[in-house]
Chains A and B, each alone.
Chain A
Amino acid sequence: MSIQAIEDTKVKAFPTPAKPAEVIAFTARVRRRFDPGAIAGKLASTLVPPAIVIIVMLVIWQIACSSPNASLPAPSQVWNEAYDLIAHPFFDYGPQDIGLAWRVLISLQRVAIGFGLAAIVGVALGALVGQSIWAMRGLDPVFQILRTVPPLAWLPLSLAAFRDSSPSAIFVIFITSIWPVIINTAVGVRNIPEDYRNVSRILRLNQLEFFVKIMVPAAAPYIFTGLRIGIGLSWLAIVAAEMLTGGVGIGFFIWDAWNSSRLPDIIVALAYIGVTGFCLDRLVAAVGAFVTRSTTAK
């Protein structure tokens, strides 16, 4: 192979184009905000696996309970006998005969009051325990013992103290959900960096200013962890409390259904409780993530 010599005439020192180059505006590919394909794919990947698991469980359950002398109802039986409850969550046929969604809402109202009180008192007590070494030494052992008492164990005492079922139920929710709020808030307050305290001392912030401007925002991630555990516990307690105090909540509905042997109704109610509890947990988590979005990033 030999390299051909380039003819002189073909070589130009500075090749000049015959016409000026056309300027093509650089258009960045606009990323579409709404991409149906990607969203559908994401939805499928999150929804399909649990759907398969639920179908498999239903099939196993159907097979296991399909014999005539089975003690529990099969899914098909639940669907047939409790169809009204499943299809019409908001029916209202009188004071004691209302849809499950109404019952859940009534229970949620109780939880809102009980848990709301627990959140306020819990954060205040937690701040005290976290701030003062003596409050911690005195109160922490008491809290550690009381928090292990099961919700139902408080019920007779609160019935005796309040002489009415409604405040008793709220008290049981309160006393069940307050402990994680106190303990997590205390840990959060104890972990406030010394520098933040020094800043507040140099500025001579008073107790209230320190609480509002430094302590609560600094401890917010811990506080929300406590609130999230607390709301889960309070939803556990509502069912137990309503079983004994009566009324029209979802907990009492289960007790009532058991007394009149409507097992399919109980199963539908369980599903309602589970879904509601899940939503509550996610709601508190979402609020926490929103509120602490700037605190967690250092």
Chain B
Amino acid sequence: MKKVLMKGNEALAEGALIAGCRGFFGYPITPSSEIAEYMARKLPKIGGAFIQAESELAAINMIYGGSSTGTRVMTASSGPGISLKQEGISFISEAELPCLIVNVSRGGPGLGGIQPSQADYFQATRGGGHGDYRIIVLAPSSSQEMMDLAILAFELADKYRTPVMIMAEGTLGNLMEPVIVREAVTEFLDKPWATTGCVGRKPNVINTLHLSQEELEGRNRHLTEKYKMISKNEKRAESFLLDDAEIVVVAFGLLARIIKKSVMEARKKGVKAGLIRPVTLWPFPDEHIQAVSRTARTILSVEINMGQMVEDIRLAAGGKIPVEFYGRIGFTPNPEEITRQLLFIAEREGLL
């Protein structure tokens, strides 16, 4: 099998091309820029459109327009840029336009720094824009998953007519790993709603203005039903050594791989540790949390932020099990640091 050594950002971009993405609109920002650079090199050669927009606002509205034509389109940015795109994401969600939005995250708030971060969890899963909407959020943990989840993202986006976000730490975007390049996607859903020219049919109109009370409530009820369906069908998580686990760590992204090392090390020292890695951050894989709430002693959420996903874990656990938090920002915890934390909890709980 032929493998290519790719940065996470490159693997994601190639994955998007494999999925048939033919429009990239964006504005560069560290640590996401390699996605735009890759697309700039490749898209024009395969009949696609690459536009470096004048701003993030312009880019996200180009996504609105591009997606309206039925074309698979994407944008990529990092925290500050994603903040600027929020208005557009709200509009795109209401217009039910499929697209991929990538956040290769850096540390905030404000300008923050360009160190890897997971501090945009709330922004991604709650939505930073206005109104009642949800977007699917996927969190890859390797270069291979950057590619595979990009392909999945376009599939889910089309299936549910919704924006899908991929959120990855800056380190994952820039880390090189061998990747198996997938086969090009050849089957696509019909998009009878797209504005493709209305010869022989009534015009399709895509807008988000609903002045009548009934219409507005109807639209919101429709979207809510859709989000319920996504929630029912699309939760994804990876379980690691959970069968006899007494301390369960929950972590996502590249960080989850660091923690796998910690879990293995802790086990060597007699701590029955396990790991849940949410792959979808929304919908949050709450059944996985509920299952361990019945069997484990404590849950530890490890995040590269000051405590965000821990709220979803507590909601899922419903008070049945203590949920603790360990977080860093500016630094990615190393495996030894988390192993120490696991040993500390095990000792405190009398599990050693």
Indicate, yes or no, whether A interacts with B.
no
A binding-site residues for B, Cβ under 8 Å: none
